Structure 1
Amino acid sequence: MSLRVATWNIEWFGNLFDGRSALRLDDDWSARYKVTRAEQGAAIARVLRRLDADLLLVVEAPNTGKRQSTVRALKNFAAAFGLRQSAAAIGFANDTHQELAVMYDPDTLSLRHDPRGVPGDAARAVHAPRFDTQFRLDVDVDGQPDVHIFSKPPVEMEIRLAAGGKALRLIGVHTKSKAPHGAKNEAEELAISIANRRKQLAQCVWLRQRVEDHLRDGDDLIVLGDFNDGPGLDGYERLFGRSGVEVVLGMDAPEDRQLREPHARIWLDPRQGWSLSTARFYSKPYRRYLNALLDYVMLSPGLAERGAAAWRIWHPFDDPDCFDDDAMRLALLAASDHFPVSVDLELP
């Protein structure tokens, strides 16, 4: 059977819902620049219809709180636009108002939140602790392990296809941003950038430990989401040796223990004269848009090889089909500052 799995960071998605997760589609401005809530909602729906994923990881999904519900909000959105991805699920809710959630077609698959690992704490080192707890790792090599957390704990799902067959494992990710938000001068910018890089790298080491456990157990694994990172993305990699994405992929491991992600691997070749991107941000200092490769869908080796995997970045300018479709191109630009990434699998 064919299966399409995708990830998409939908910027300010939660602002389209009120305090009880009811959808607001009106002419008031969304948090997107010069885009109303009605326009952003319609743009998101157009992209989701065209993307036509059986399962979508929504990064920056609507909030879950005392009155708000991520699942209820996403179901309301799917119902309002008649989307086949009418079911939704989350893992551990967080305090950032930006959840990690999954929208999916219940006629194609079923899933359940299935976190792995024992709880970790500040007192002892634990291999691959549960993602909503703590992780001890000495990143700055001072002999003193630091304690790390996920502000957005990765979501872990067991997926079962309606057609039967082996269950799939999914880990949805939104790792720490390395941007030096709040810096008042160059010295603060440097300090914050390095501190954020340490946190991001520790999160990726934590993720890699869980990946290694799944590979050891022979699981078919999908790791996807917004890593806020990529090989060669910034100069701080010289301090740490590897990007976080390379750590999760396992680029220092034997070939049969490395996750597959062709977009990330393109960055590893310094001689190629072009680049890929999954996000587009406006830079006030440069007065132009900057592009970055931040979002990935990684597959375990057996799943990639058996499933004849085909990856795609739904970029409004770089993907010819998206560019030639005026409505789709404009919808991608109105919906978010990130673009979807998908992989098509052919499973037995």
Structure 2
Amino acid sequence: ERFAAHYGLRTRRAVTGFASETEQEITLLYDPDRITARHDPVGEPGGKKSEGAVPRFDSVFRYDLDVDTAPEQIRFSKPPLELAVTTTTGRKLRLIGVHIKSKAPHGARNPAEANRIAIDNRRKQRAQCVWLRQRVVEHLVAGDSLIVLGDFNDGPGLDEYERLFGHSGLEVVLGTDANPGLQLFDPHAQMTLRQRLGITPTTARFWLAPQKRYFEALLDFIMVSPDLAATAPQWRIWHPLNDPACWRVPELREALLTASDHFPVTLDLML
């Protein structure tokens, strides 16, 4: 909020979810003249699970990672931020802000270790996505207007390990195999799913020192429930090298390239 006040932003109120051991909490900065938002976590705390209920995101999710019939305990290092949002017109929304586990084999000392860590990380990432998907289904079955957004550290066809699991974690959250009423929608994800070998959008750009080049990937998404998708919302990736309007403003272009290796993704909704 001090940041917003310093720069005179209309999005001047902040709401933060659960604390993170990584000190990378997920926060919503919003305009109190347009909406109200409160942290509203769903589920049983402490890993308790009543019949059919999905655990709260700051607790434990039990999932069999290695198919040995002994479920492991899965946790989010950065628990998703669940929000109850109400617009000034009275429209109610559910928002879930997400930062899914990275698949990168950090700390690997040789190729074999890198391969083992990468597979282990993907298993954990998939479990987090299954957990998130179960919460998504709860909201869609209840008829909630839902937005799920954030850094998924994954996307369709992003690496060869995806073949081991059948689907990317993103596809799990989208519910690509579910009935249409239980699917989420993101146009950039859809473009990638339908066009695996063609040109696809990207939201992140990383420097690969050994290859002396940049690698781009689609990692950041804003997924919406069917009722919101039906309102013809407008998505935009603020990638200055792919968006001519961003490129034409030098200050904006340089700020986007300097601020992060991820570019902002926005969604315009008429509610």
Aligned partner of 1:336 among 252, 255, 260? 260
CA contact (8 A) 2:157 2:196 kept: no
- Aligned residue for 1:262? 187
1:136 is aligned to 2:48: no
1:312 is aligned to 2:226: no
The structural deviation recorded for 1:124 is 9.0
Q: Residue 236 of structure 2 aligns to which amino acid in structure 1? A: R
- Aligned residue for 1:168? 93
1:204-224 Cα deviation digits (max 9, x unpaired) = 000000000000000000000
Alignment coverage as a number of residue pairs = 271
- Aligned residue for 1:217? 142
- Aligned residue for 1:82? 8
Aligned partner of 2:211 among 272, 278, 286? 286
Report the Cα distance in structure 1 between the residues aligned to 2:48 and 2:37, rounded to whole angstroms: 32
- Aligned residue for 2:160? 235
1:141-186 Cα deviation digits (max 9, x unpaired) = 2211111000000000000112x23310000000100000000000
Report the Cα distance in structure 1 between the residues aligned to 2:190 and 2:14, rounded to whole angstroms: 31
1:123–1:167 distance in 2 versus 1, CA, 3 Å: closer
Report the Cα distance in structure 1 between the residues aligned to 2:64 and 2:52, rounded to whole angstroms: 13
Report the Cα distance in structure 1 between the residues aligned to 2:3 and 2:148, rounded to whole angstroms: 25
Report the Cα distance in structure 1 between the residues aligned to 2:151 and 2:135, rounded to whole angstroms: 17
Report the Cα distance in structure 1 between the residues aligned to 2:80 and 2:6, rounded to whole angstroms: 28
CA contact (8 A) 1:109 1:159 kept: yes
1:123–1:296 distance in 2 versus 1, CA, 3 Å: closer
1:112 is aligned to 2:32: no
SS of equivalent residue, structure 1 residue 106: coil
1:145 is aligned to 2:71: yes
1:138–1:232 distance in 2 versus 1, CA, 3 Å: same
1:183-236 Cα deviation digits (max 9, x unpaired) = 000011001001100110000000000000000000000000000000111111
SS of equivalent residue, structure 1 residue 147: strand
Q: Residue 264 of structure 2 aligns to which amino acid in structure 1? A: P
SS of equivalent residue, structure 2 residue 202: coil
RMSD of equivalent CA atoms: 1.6
SS of equivalent residue, structure 1 residue 112: strand
1:257–1:126 distance in 2 versus 1, CA, 3 Å: closer
1:223–1:82 distance in 2 versus 1, CA, 3 Å: same
The structural deviation recorded for 1:341 is 0.5
CA contact (8 A) 1:128 1:207 kept: no
Report the Cα distance in structure 1 between the residues aligned to 2:107 and 2:191, rounded to whole angstroms: 32
CA contact (8 A) 2:241 2:247 kept: yes
Report the Cα distance in structure 1 between the residues aligned to 2:201 and 2:59, rounded to whole angstroms: 34
CA contact (8 A) 1:180 1:193 kept: yes
4+ residue runs over 2 A deviation: 119-127, 269-272
The structural deviation recorded for 1:272 is 4.9
With normalisation by structure 1, the TM-score equals 0.75
- Aligned residue for 1:197? 122
SS of equivalent residue, structure 2 residue 188: helix
CA contact (8 A) 1:113 1:157 kept: yes
Which ranges in structure 1 are unaligned for 5 or more consecutive residues? 1-74
SS of equivalent residue, structure 1 residue 99: coil
The percent identity for this pair of structures is 58
